[in-house]
Amino acid sequence: MSSDGKSTLTTLSKREEIVNTILELLFIKEKLTNRDAEYLFAISLLFIEEFEKNRSRSYYIEFAYSIIVRTCFKIKDYRALYDFSVNFGYYPIARKLLKSGLVDEGILNYFLSDLKLAQFSNGDKMNTFEQDKVSKEIITSENKTFAFIAPTSYGKSEIIYQHILKNNELDNIGIIVPTKALIDQVLREAKKLRELNRKIITHEQNYNDSDRRVLAIVTQERALRLIEQNLIFDSLYIDEAHELFNFDFGLKHANRSLLLARLLKLNKKLNPGLNIYYFSPLIQNVKNLLLKNEEGDVEQYKINNNLKVLDIRYVSNSNEQFVFEQYLGYFFKLPNTENNLKYIVNCSKNYKKNLHYLYRPIYIEHYAKELFDQLPEYDELPNSLGNLIEELKYIVHPKFKLIEFLSKGILYLHGRLPNNIRNYLLKCFRDDTSIKHLIANSVILAGMNMPIDSLFFISGFSATNELINLVGRVNRLNEIFSNNGELNKILVPVHFVELDSYPQNRNGQLKKTVESLRSNIKDSVKNPLLENSVVNRSNLENSEKILALESNIVNDFDNPSFISRLTRSGAQQLLNYTDLGLIKLEKIINKTEIIHNADNVYKEILLKVKEVFFDNFVSEGVDRDIDYRYFHPNNNVKRLRFEPTINYYSGFIPSAYSPLKDRVNNLVSYWKDILSSPSDHDKNFMQYVGSQFGEKAYQSNDYNDSRAKVYIDLNDYKTREYDMYNIAIIKLQIDDEFVDFEIGLLVNSLREFNIISDDLYNLFMFGTNDIKELQISQLGLSKNLYNTLKKDNQIQNIEFDDFYNPRANQHLREYILSKQGIEKFELEQYFL
């Protein structure tokens, strides 16, 4: 029998007569008799007693707790839940029951219970016994390295800031987050803590050598560039630390987990006294966080108990509906549904905020349309939605398809929408009760705190850890136990619904995904820079090469070799030069003519990128075939070997300062011109949009798999103007990211080797060399907003406090308060 008790419950699940009786009472019978309730409580008490005999049998206590919760809510008598909560340290539930008047313990008992519970309160927040104990241990801990492992929504951010304030004498602190979307959320929380007395930066350009006492809220890429600028961290807080385990040998040097490991190793070399603190809901063994050849250990602080109980429903393609009891691992049959999409619509009526999860952006948009067609219209469109719709027409485009969906309270988000629009729409979802449906994928949801009352899982990953993390985002504890929170939200509705139009990733089976919720979290350690990594024999040689290069980058940081400089600056992670290619490239760079001045900075620098990194490694002629003896560039960046690509981006980069609506119109006009002036080459109609929205494969030597659908054919859009405008919005975001990342890294590499100056780099990346303007543009504002501030003469009204944080003077404050919508949102984010 397994130590956690799972095997016993598995055996019990085969006793169908007993199991069906239990589940019928819990899920079918509308009104329970006293005898029914006593029967269910007796079962829960049996498992509690067995747990008390051996506390490693966690499945026993969790199963008992789930029965008590469901039974108490059914009979509307909460005494058993109260007793359980007090006895097992689930104090937030006990306090909520008392404060809501759901238990009547008499005046004396009420007073004594509340007095006992008060010991575990932190302001307005009530901790569980385990949470209170672990939190206090962390805050007073003197360990230089620890990991905090707790279910999602257990106050991770709060502990980070408490710990920072407790150790506020340290100079430079970094909070490393996995996505740019999370930077905005963490920044908003940090700015509330005025007692930090630090400069808060979110981008490497925000940092100056003269800065002191820095709090950097950044991704690992940005943190590495800060180290290049001589910022050495004293403490690093690694959010979503389980991301360190991931690795794909197909991505080679572009693995983000590799960059995170490099950040830790490099900063530790520069500061042997570095403190590293890991935070995650998904790590089983903290020893797996240890880097290769790393001395020391990782102290673990862990919260095991979860106050929430999952209410899991599965609806198959054949309209069969089941309850999945996760502790028994049992599918309990319910009546069939008439139609799976109608099932979603009907169930969603019971909740204020619904999350619909699909993993592919193109699925997200198609599903939004299907859901829209099934939902009723508002009797009267709420003013908040009407205002948002008009704003999106103005700032994005009147034909933006999200506008139509918002009219029924549907919002979709994915990584191919502009960053500032995405952040603003997330705020709208949090604040506007009229937006009831959010359709999104993991790019948006990783680590995000949002009000979500139910989850409809349509298609996605099958990895247990990721699924558990997603489910944990529903009904966050701070919402349940707030003054206006509803205790019944400890029952978390999770609906897995099969729809033929949206197959699972890699042809997986949704039923198996459901079953995986019964599995234990397992660490899959693939990153070769970790001590306990498991590397397949086929990747052993690649692993050794990666380890050798990363070791050189760290050890030779002060006097780097050519390959170290190329990797650190970013070019190698995109272009993957072979040993032969590196020898040739070094000679080319040493002979390359330096650019001192440029009449057209965008064209001349892009031509230099093409000259240095591509021209000597490809063939002559139209196709300019790649010589794979020398390098293996990533698919997207390969396009920079063509002069038409250079010409396109030479005009595209300065256009990024124009309003988005104008950019959309210009791109669609350009496409229409192409379609009205046919060329001899069909490929001129093909537009790269990547795998997330690609519809066509393009036969080319560029791709190892020429079947990859990464293009659209503009011919298909001749009579679909509405779709053309929407794919233009996506294409602009793809190209913006291409400029910021791929092109940005290659231009940075030209600067690293002194082929261009800092002034030319700033002109190319920020459009200015004026010191004050650089300070402002480098804050991370959208280019259009920066241009608006400049046009309205507001740059002069931005001041900086003692720690060089930007602040609005009275004139700018009045200007911000006069704004509305997204402009006000962005300006408040940076200056108020």
Confidence of residue 293 (pLDDT cuts 50, 70, 90): confident
pLDDT greater at residue 771 or residue 416: 416
Interval 302-329 mean pLDDT: 94
Domain annotation covers residue 533: no
Predicted confidence at residue 739, as pLDDT, reads 95
* CA angle in degrees (0–180, nearest 5) for 763-764-769: 10
pLDDT (tens digit per residue) in 240-274: 999 999 999 988 888 999 999 999 999 999 999 99
Predicted confidence at residue 20, as pLDDT, reads 94
Confidence of residue 482 (pLDDT cuts 50, 70, 90): confident
31 lies in the same domain as 148: no
Average pLDDT, the chain: 90
pLDDT > 70: what percent of the chain? 95
706 lies in the same domain as 725: yes
Residue 63 has pLDDT above 90, yes or no: yes
**Of 75, 108, 125, which residue is a domain's last?**
125
Interval 418-428 mean pLDDT: 91
Contacts of 118 (CB under 8 A, 6+ apart): none
422 lies in the same domain as 507: yes
Predicted confidence at residue 111, as pLDDT, reads 52
Residue 448 has pLDDT above 50, yes or no: yes
Q: What is the CATH number of the domain that holds 410?
A: 3.40.50.300
Residue 45 has pLDDT above 90, yes or no: yes
Predicted confidence at residue 124, as pLDDT, reads 63
Domain annotation covers residue 469: yes
Predicted confidence at residue 95, as pLDDT, reads 85
Residue 133 has pLDDT above 60, yes or no: yes
pLDDT greater at residue 297 or residue 3: 297
107 lies in the same domain as 47: yes
Interval 220-236 mean pLDDT: 93
Domain annotation covers residue 572: yes
Tell me which residue of 245, 237, 217 sits closest to 277, measured CA to CA. 237
Interval 20-45 mean pLDDT: 96
Confidence of residue 195 (pLDDT cuts 50, 70, 90): confident
* Structure tokens given for 613: 């990194």
Confidence of residue 455 (pLDDT cuts 50, 70, 90): very high
Q: How far apart are CA 694 and CA 697, in angstroms?
A: 8
Residue 681 has pLDDT above 90, yes or no: no
Q: How far apart are CA 274 and CA 257, in angstroms?
A: 19
pLDDT (tens digit per residue) in 94-113: 888 988 888 876 644 655 56
371 lies in the same domain as 461: yes
pLDDT (tens digit per residue) in 550-569: 999 999 999 999 999 999 99
Confidence of residue 642 (pLDDT cuts 50, 70, 90): very high
Predicted confidence at residue 1, as pLDDT, reads 39
The top-scoring range by mean pLDDT among 3-7, 352-356, 768-772 is: 352-356
State whether residue 318 is helix, strand or coil: coil
774 lies in the same domain as 758: no
45 lies in the same domain as 153: no
Predicted confidence at residue 825, as pLDDT, reads 92
How many domains does the chain divide into? Answer: 5
Domain annotation covers residue 217: yes
* Structure tokens given for 584: 């040739």
pLDDT > 90: what percent of the chain? 66
Predicted confidence at residue 701, as pLDDT, reads 62
Domain annotation covers residue 543: no
Q: How far apart are CA 737 and CA 744, in angstroms?
A: 9
Beta bridge partners of 798: 808
Domain annotation covers residue 612: yes
DSSP states along 227-291 = HHTT---SEEEETTGGGGG---TTTGGG-HHHHHHHHHHHHHHH-TT-EEEEEES--S-GGGGPB
Lowest mean pLDDT among 279-288, 303-312, 454-463: 454-463
* Structure tokens given for 777: 């543009």
The top-scoring range by mean pLDDT among 216-220, 516-520, 676-680 is: 216-220
Interval 588-593 mean pLDDT: 95
DSSP 359: S
Helical H runs in 327-418?
340-348, 361-374, 383-395, 401-406
Tell me which residue of 770, 819, 826, 758 sits closest to 795, measured CA to CA. 770
In 10 A of CB 438, how many CB atoms?
24
**Of 713, 747, 762, which residue is a domain's last?**
762
Tell me which residue of 259, 180, 157, 199 sits closest to 780, measured CA to CA. 180
Unique residue bearing structure tokens 């905005």:
184
820 lies in the same domain as 709: no
Predicted confidence at residue 108, as pLDDT, reads 47
329 lies in the same domain as 315: yes
Interval 368-378 mean pLDDT: 96
Confidence of residue 420 (pLDDT cuts 50, 70, 90): confident
Predicted confidence at residue 60, as pLDDT, reads 95
Predicted confidence at residue 702, as pLDDT, reads 61
Q: Report, in this order, helix, strand and coil percent for the chain, each rounded to 5.
A: 50, 10, 35
490 lies in which domain range? Answer: 309-518
Beta bridge partners of 697: 709
Map 50-117 to HEC letters: HHHHCCCCHHHHHHHHHHHHHHHHHHCCCHHHHHHHHHCCCHHHHHHHHHCCCCCCCHHHHHHHHHHH
Domain annotation covers residue 528: no
**Of 236, 268, 302, which residue is a domain's last?**
302
pLDDT greater at residue 191 or residue 111: 191
710 lies in the same domain as 781: no
Domain annotation covers residue 547: no
Interval 113-132 mean pLDDT: 70
The top-scoring range by mean pLDDT among 82-96, 114-128, 683-697 is: 82-96
366 lies in the same domain as 283: no
757 lies in the same domain as 782: no
**Sign of the torsion formed by the C-alpha atoms of 359, 364, 366 and 371:** positive
